[in-house]
Amino acid sequence: MSDQQLNNLIKMLDQIIANNLHHGDDEKVTDVAADHLQKFWARSMKQQIIAYANQRPDELSILAKLTVDKLEPAVEV
Amino acid sequence: MLHYYDPSTQSYEPGKSGLNPDFDSFSRDLGTPPSLSEELVSISVDGRDITVPEGTSVLRAAALAGINIPKLCASDNLEAFGSCRLCAVEIEGRRGYPASCTTPVAEGMAVTTQTGKLAKLRRNIMELYISDHPLDCLTCPANGNCELQDVAGVVGLREVRYGFDGENHLDAETDNSNPYFSFDPSKCIVCSRCVRACDEVQGTFALTIEGRGFDSKVVASQNDPFMDSECVSCGACVQACPTSTLMEKSVIEEGQPEHSIVTTCAYCGVGCSFKAEMKGDQVVRMVPYKGGEANHGHSCVKGRFAFGYATHDDRIREPMIRDSINDPWKVVSWDEALAFSAKKLKGIQAEYGRESIGGITSSRCTNEETYLVQKLVRAAFGNNNTDTCARVCHSPTGYGLKTTLGESAGTQTFDSVMKADTIMVIGANPTDAHPVFGSLMRKRLRQGAKLIVIDPRRIDLVHTPNAEEGLHLPLRPGTNVAIVNALAHVIVTEGLEDQAFINSRCDTEAYNTWRRFIAEERNSPEATESVTGVAADKVREAARMYAQADNGAIYYGLGVTEHSQGSTMVMGIANLALATGNIGKEGGGVNPLRGQNNVQGSCDMGSFPHELPGYQHVNDQAVRERFEAVWGVPIDNEPGLRIPNMFDAAIAGSFKALYVQGEDIAQSDPNTQHVEAALKALDCLIVQDIFLNETAKFAHVLLPGSTFLEKNGTFTNAERRINRVRKVMEPVAGMEDWEVTMALSNALGYPMHYNHPSEIMDEIASLTPTFTGVNYDKLEQLGSIQWPCNDEYPDGTPTMHTVDFPIGKGRFAVTEYLASEERASRRFPLLLTTGRILSQYNVGAQTRRTSNSDWHEEDVLELHPSDAELRGVKDGDWLGISSRVGHTVLRAKLSTRMLPGVVYTTFHHPGSGANVVTTDNSDWATNCPEYKVTAVQVEKVSQPSDWQRDFVDFDKRQQALLKPAMSKQENSHATTLK
């Protein structure tokens, strides 16, 4: 995985969250964002963002980290 | 097994113009347009009783009764004019000889079309016409298809008593300025059909009759050569001309065609039907087909004339392979090319894993072809790494409309616009990009419909001749959502909602949430004015115009979708339509104008990585099981990579091979240098195309593609209309595109066996709930079908959501405006937006290889005079355009179409590098690139950019590597012809 690929994934994730903030509290927002990733992101993209979140949990925004945490159990490897 | 016309196995049957027996009924000209009245009137014509709608002309009623009254100035696509007087008749109880074209039927009317007096009258008229007409019929290009000649025969003209020595127009000079047709005024009978076609059908008003009496003559604009006039070369005048005054140059050079086959244009999303008029296996001309439901016999300069690319010398005629992009191409057999491809793909998967390869389908290819490509990826590659070029244009339409209305498609027919009272056009330029529909829209505007245009540019539609000026809201690029919210705010706060519709058809909770949001003061036109740049009172006026109309219709294009909030904007548009009850009825609706011919179809056919055909998600087990039962292999339950994700993965080294059918990602996708890096990183790029396009220069396998003239299949246009594409000539390399995909799949070990695209469509219908009623037999019977077509709607669905939505209730969506990250700054103070021009099509691979380039030889940068003055720029100066990702150079064109601060260019020429400067910003939901907003700086320069110099070098090198192979295929082609 390249830095550019990772940066793009983080940017996309942040964008998805930013466009769904209107759904309400953090729980709802991250539910919607995780569902979006589940439906539209490729397996490898999910795996990469999960791996990154696990390795460097502090470098994702709080909402991004919460979103990725919800994603993890749904990924079939 | 069904049997369809195949020029290689079936001979042409004289008298049959195509495949469907009904086609011939559209070749008759009934003289005047139909009346839409529901009241019926009965008359007798020469003793034959006929009942027709009130308002029908006597001429048309007679034609419907099977009686052809001679005519010259009348045509059933033009309003009656009554100038030639040849259609005079006698009517019982009435004096004189009224023109039947301008005389409406009346109950009990008894008409006589043939008497001695009428015969004499008609002969006298013809005598006058012919006294000023060259008698060169045997050498005239219209010979065999001349209405004047036919009518002279019908009226029995035997002599011209006036002689031919008097004053005449026989020496009038021919205007050959247009590359496609000539104007020979010596043949003109001044019937005005060309002038009226330009006015009534095309809506350009480029032609007029200048002078009076004997001096009357047809002129273009201010008596200019056609090429210098306002003429847009749509061909309507040529079609209307009853002589050879306006005549296709191809007919002048090659003679009259001897048979024709109806097929569908492969340019924009209007999907016009054309008769390919042929001599043997050569297309002489493309004539818009009157029976085409999308175009009703009209055309534009691309579909009508720009088909010469099909026989261009640049066509790739044989498969080619090479190990490296620095190697020369080697011509090989199909078997060798396919075996080479299969070995590479399998090897890469063995080394890098199942997900290391993928495929891209094209919106230029047929439904059957795109279906097979995504099937190849899912079944033979074993992953879901399939995407389509719709990713970079209308993917937000899919997301936005499915979320709000439950279906990923426009809601109306094109004809629906004729019932619209207010037309709102957002981020689209129909008269350039969808010209035939643009003409229909203009017709409705001339009838009095109101127009709102929301676009940074002042598009031509704003000023439609003989119609009220449109209300133009010139917003700043990137502020779409702010303005759609402001429009909705006015509708909600001024009580303009359709509460009955909302209560009965929409989800209450979603509506209440949306309403609370949209009513907030921050969404008001006054609050958003500083963001959008549009005066609040104009926004309020537009909202009222739309909401208070009986029927309000919204049409939108890539100016909506190609933004970081493209999907949000699509939902905002759907919100407007739901709030005003403009869904489920003619004259209303939400209508995405699709850029390419089969954008709708490529999306329908499961090209997106997360959806199987019919927008059925891959994680739905029941859906997968149905496909698995038919395809015989397991289907991955996770979405695959989208095009931009494929590029990132290629650069990262995990994605190693790509099969691209009919798509030029190297030119059309944003941030060209990023795309080039991705393509260079691939171990195997297989390109199936008709030319060595920009992408193919990075390829290892080149599989010859077939043009739309060389294959069977279907296209689905922007109104969900499935139209037949019929093969009129053999594919240059022997295989249609669907056959190539099938052969590749077989080479990979996943068997595919179809004898005809009709069998592919049968499979599609068996797996796609909205297509279950679609088959080729029905398409032959009905001409075309708008999906959904199933047990519930056996003949298709012209207007969607009339009763309910696929998701039950319409769902309002909250559309919070977020400014794009791409903003003007001190370093990049201007905003670049891109678009298309009438004469060129998309990446230009087709139109650049035709005379259409006479209108648009190069892409230019339009900029406002005030921005030009600040930089000391004059028209024609070379300008360097820099963004944060790249730099290119274009010639300057000063224009007041845009606001100061906004610059504009097209992307039809690869060397322009328009996408070198566009960024990889994209829509939050779909990754559709943000082509429409790029912060740039422009400055005068004296030389091309580094990228442009590299482009020229790379192009030269790749052309040199191709040349030996092309010479070999030329020799082989010549041998075959011998």
The 10 Å Cβ neighbour count of residue B963 is 12
The answer to whether B355 contacts A36, with C-beta atoms less than 8 Å apart, is no
Nearest neighbour of A8 by CB, restricted to B619, B639, B648: B648
Q: Is the pLDDT of residue B976 over 70?
A: no
Burial class (CB in 10 A: 0-12, 13-18, 19+), B339: middle
The better pLDDT of the pair A63, B976 is held by: A63
Residue B208's nearest CA partner among B200, B219, B198 is B219
Q: Is the pLDDT of residue B541 over 90?
A: yes
Q: What average pLDDT does this structure show over B498-510?
A: 98
Residues B540, B545, B546, B548, Cα dihedral to 10°: 110
pLDDT at residue B25 in the model:
65
The interface residues of chain B toward chain A in range 574-613, judged by CB-CB distance below 8 A, are 609-610
Residue B534's nearest CA partner among B452, B472, B473 is B473
Q: What is the pTM of this model?
A: 0.95
Q: Where are the beta strands (DSSP E) in B616-766?
A: 616-617, 657-661, 684-689, 701-704, 713-716, 721-725
Query: Quick one: pLDDT band at residue B967, thresholds 50, 70, 90?
Result: confident
**What tokens appear for B358 in the block?**
């993928």
By percentage, how much of chain B surpasses pLDDT 90? 93
b vs e for B515-530, b when ≥16 Cβ sit within 10 Å of the residue's Cβ? bebbeeeebbbebbbe
Question: Which residues from chain B sit within 8 angstroms of residue A13, using beta carbons?
Answer: none
The answer to whether A19 contacts B816, with C-beta atoms less than 8 Å apart, is yes
The answer to whether B639 contacts A5, with C-beta atoms less than 8 Å apart, is no
- ipTM for this model: 0.96
The answer to whether A42 contacts B920, with C-beta atoms less than 8 Å apart, is no
pLDDT digits (tens, 9 = 90+) for B357-406: 999 999 999 999 999 999 999 999 999 999 999 888 899 999 999 999 99
**What tokens appear for B318 in the block?**
């044989």
pLDDT at residue A77 in the model:
43
pLDDT digits (tens, 9 = 90+) for B192-203: 999 999 999 999
Query: Which of B395, B638, B643, B816 is the best mutation test for A, with the most CBs of A within 10 A?
Result: B638
Give the whole-angstrom CA distance, residue B197 versus residue B85.
19
How far A57 CA sits from the closest chain B CA (Å)?
22
Q: What average pLDDT does this structure show over B712-733?
A: 97
Give the whole-angstrom CA distance, residue B343 versus residue B360.
19
Contact B864, B895 (CB under 8 A): yes
The answer to whether A40 contacts B814, with C-beta atoms less than 8 Å apart, is no
pLDDT at residue B19 in the model:
41
Query: Quick one: pLDDT band at residue A2, thresholds 50, 70, 90?
Result: confident
Between A42-56, B159-173, B259-273, B495-509, the lowest mean confidence (pLDDT) is in B159-173
Give the whole-angstrom CA distance, residue B667 versus residue B916.
9
How far B447 CA sits from the closest chain A CA (Å)?
41
Question: Which residue of chain A comes nearest to B610, CA vs CA?
Answer: A40
The interface residues of chain B toward chain A in range 811-850, judged by CB-CB distance below 8 A, are 814, 816, 818
Q: Is the pLDDT of residue A20 over 90?
A: yes
DSSP B213-265: GGG-EEEETTTB-GGGSS----SHHHHH-SSSSEEEHHHHHH----EEEEEE-
Residue B474's nearest CA partner among B747, B864, B89 is B864
Residue B720's nearest CA partner among B675, B771, B678 is B771
The 10 Å Cβ neighbour count of residue B755 is 9
**What tokens appear for B391 in the block?**
């990713």
b vs e for B621-631, b when ≥16 Cβ sit within 10 Å of the residue's Cβ? eebbeebeeeb
pLDDT digits (tens, 9 = 90+) for B436-474: 999 999 999 999 999 999 999 999 999 999 999 999 999
Query: Quick one: pLDDT band at residue A3, thresholds 50, 70, 90?
Result: confident
Query: Which of A2, A5, A47, A67 is the best mutation test for B, with the most CBs of B within 10 A?
Result: A5
Nearest neighbour of A40 by CB, restricted to B385, B639, B644: B639
End-to-end CA distance of chain B: 35
How far B463 CA sits from the closest chain A CA (Å)?
36
Contact B246, B219 (CB under 8 A): no
How far B924 CA sits from the closest chain A CA (Å)?
5
Chain A contact present for B941, CB below 8 A: no
Q: Is the pLDDT of residue B595 over 90?
A: no
pLDDT at residue B163 in the model:
84
Q: Is the pLDDT of residue B22 over 50?
A: no
The answer to whether A5 contacts B648, with C-beta atoms less than 8 Å apart, is yes
Cα B75 to Cα B5, B84, B147, B191, distances in angstroms: 31, 12, 11, 11
Residue B172, phi-psi category: left (phi > 0), alpha (psi -120 to 50), beta (remainder): beta
Residue that is written with structure tokens 């009853």 in the block = B242
Query: Which of B377, B565, B623, B645 is the best mutation test for A, with the most CBs of A within 10 A?
Result: B645
Between B9-13, B134-138, B484-488, B941-945, the lowest mean confidence (pLDDT) is in B9-13
Chain B contact present for A7, CB below 8 A: no
Nearest neighbour of B814 by CB, restricted to A22, A36, A43: A22
Pairing of strands B246-248, B181-183: antiparallel
Angle CA B882–B663–B296, to nearest 5:
105
End-to-end CA distance of chain A: 17
Nearest neighbour of A42 by CB, restricted to B609, B617, B651: B609
CA torsion through residues B873, B874, B877, B881, sign: positive
Contact B547, B491 (CB under 8 A): yes
Between A60-74, B81-95, B299-313, the lowest mean confidence (pLDDT) is in A60-74
The answer to whether B648 contacts A12, with C-beta atoms less than 8 Å apart, is no
Collect all residues with Cβ–Cβ distance below 8 Å to B414 and sequence separation of at least 6: B270, B294, B437, B440, B718, B719
Question: Which residues from chain B sit within 8 angstroms of residue A76, using beta carbons?
Answer: 637-638
**Helix/strand/coil (H, E, C) string of B864-891?**
CHHHHHHCCCCCCCEEEEECCCCEEEEE
Nearest neighbour of B640 by CB, restricted to A4, A19, A42: A42
Collect all residues with Cβ–Cβ distance below 8 Å to B764 and sequence separation of at least 6: B367, B368, B371, B605, B613, B771, B774
Between B23-37, B169-183, B497-511, B962-976, the lowest mean confidence (pLDDT) is in B962-976
Contact A52, A13 (CB under 8 A): no
Give the whole-angstrom CA distance, residue B414 versus residue B452.
18
Q: Is the pLDDT of residue B2 over 60?
A: no
The answer to whether B926 contacts A39, with C-beta atoms less than 8 Å apart, is no
Radius of gyration over every alpha carbon of chain B, rounded to an integer in angstroms? 29
The answer to whether B610 contacts A39, with C-beta atoms less than 8 Å apart, is yes
Query: Quick one: pLDDT band at residue B21, thresholds 50, 70, 90?
Result: very low
Contact B713, B368 (CB under 8 A): yes
Give the whole-angstrom CA distance, residue B201 versus residue B234.
10
pLDDT at residue B973 in the model:
63
Task: Specify the DSSP element, H or E, that contains B936.
Answer: strand B934-940
The answer to whether B355 contacts A18, with C-beta atoms less than 8 Å apart, is no
How far B30 CA sits from the closest chain A CA (Å)?
53
The answer to whether A4 contacts B638, with C-beta atoms less than 8 Å apart, is no
Question: Which residues from chain A sit within 8 angstroms of residue B617, using beta carbons?
Answer: 39
Q: Is the pLDDT of residue B24 over 90?
A: no
If one counts the domains in chain A, the total is 1
Pairing of strands B450-454, B471-473: parallel
The interface residues of chain B toward chain A in range 639-668, judged by CB-CB distance below 8 A, are 639-642, 644-645, 648-649, 651-654
Chain B contact present for A21, CB below 8 A: yes
Task: Specify the DSSP element, H or E, that contains B532.
Answer: helix B525-532
pLDDT at residue B5 in the model:
46
Tell me the residue range of the domain where A51 lies: 3-74
Query: Quick one: pLDDT band at residue B975, thresholds 50, 70, 90?
Result: low
Contact B300, B231 (CB under 8 A): no
pLDDT digits (tens, 9 = 90+) for B408-437: 999 999 999 999 999 999 999 999 999 999
Question: Which residues from chain B sit within 8 angstroms of residue A5, using beta carbons?
Answer: 648-649, 651-652
Contact B768, B351 (CB under 8 A): no
